[in-house]
């Protein structure tokens, strides 16, 4: 494996690390690899292409990480890739635009846009990008587990709607809730979330 043989003479080219698994798994793996190469890579020159724009914050954490992106021009729902490399990260990707260019059915594109909008509004992915790297000598109780892993909470999202749902769940006496009441509670919460 590449990571086991790094040296100051290494040129490491990585593309889309973390694809093929869940978003959180993939993003976690990609972030861990960037951190590892920076901290233990012995100065290896690395080009890391990723669709996880949530990793842009690594530039502010690690002094040798620099973000670049391919410039695009958006005209309505059309995207023109300008084939220019520009400094800095980007706040979003263009997967739906590429799917449109590939001729996906309109119903697929509309569904994808609705899902993307709901995910962006949830702010869950932003919280992962804002995590600070975990070093073996800097393990804290609570959010960071003793083994160095990070335990995310579905209710630490700084979203008023999710906070309201959390409070409602905390106030429910599960031992005295009928199945019908539980169903009604879940149905109402689902409606509030728009799912």
- Interval 130-136 mean pLDDT: 46
In the three-class reduction of DSSP (H, G, I as helix; E, B as strand; rest coil), residue 104 is classed as coil
pLDDT at position 64 is 94
Q: Which residue has the higher pLDDT, 169 or 148?
A: 169
In DSSP terms, which residues pair with 81 in a beta bridge? 72
| 50 in Cβ contact with 90 (< 8 Å) | no
Across the chain, what does the average pLDDT equal? 80
Instruction: Read off the pLDDT band of 124 (50, 70, 90).
Output: low
- pLDDT, residue 153, reads 53
In the numeric block, the tokens 């040798």 are attached to 64
Q: What are phi and psi of 139, to 5 degrees?
A: -85, 130
Report pLDDT digits (tens) over 81-110.
888 999 999 877 788 888 888 889 998 899
The pLDDT assigned to 143 comes to 46
Contacts (Cβ under 8 Å, ≥6 apart) of 26: 17, 18, 19, 20, 52
Written as six digits, the tokens of 164 are 């309201």
Q: Which two tokens stand for residue 95?
A: 């997967």
3-state helix, strand, coil split of the chain in percent (to 5) is: 45, 15, 40
Q: What is the mean pLDDT of residues 4-14?
A: 94
- The confidence score (pLDDT) of residue 144 equals 45
Reply yes or no on whether the pLDDT at 26 is more than 60: yes
What would the mean pLDDT of 31-46 be, rounded to a whole number?
A: 94
Report pLDDT digits (tens) over 41-83: 999 999 999 988 889 999 999 999 999 998 988 888 788 888 8
Q: What is the pLDDT of residue 29?
A: 93
**pLDDT above 70 for 18:** yes
pLDDT at residue 150 is higher than 50: no
Tell me the backbone φ, ψ of residue 6, rounded to 5 degrees.
-70, 145
Domain boundaries, the chain: 160-193
């Amino acid at each position: 494996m590449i990571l086991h043989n790094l040296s100051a003479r290494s040129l490491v080219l990585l593309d889309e690390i973390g694809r093929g698994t869940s978003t959180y798994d993939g993003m976690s793996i990609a972030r861990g690899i960037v951190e590892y190469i920076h901290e233990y890579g012995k100065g290896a020159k690395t080009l890391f292409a990723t669709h996880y724009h949530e990793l842009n914050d690594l530039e502010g954490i690690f002094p040798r990480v620099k973000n670049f992106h391919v410039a695009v021009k958006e005209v309505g729902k059309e995207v023109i890739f300008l084939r220019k490399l520009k400094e800095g990260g980007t706040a979003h990707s263009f997967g739906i635009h590429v799917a449109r260019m590939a001729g996906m059915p309109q119903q697929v594109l509309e569904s994808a846009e609705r899902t993307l909008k709901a995910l962006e509004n949830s702010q869950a992915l932003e919280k992962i990008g804002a995590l600070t790297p975990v070093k073996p000598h800097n393990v804290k109780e609570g959010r960071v587990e003793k083994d160095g892993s990070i335990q995310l909470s579905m209710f630490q999202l700084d979203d008023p709607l999710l906070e309201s749902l959390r409070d409602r769940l905390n106030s429910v006496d599960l031992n005295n809730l009928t199945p019908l009441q539980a169903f009604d509670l879940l149905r109402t919460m689902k409606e509030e979330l728009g799912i």
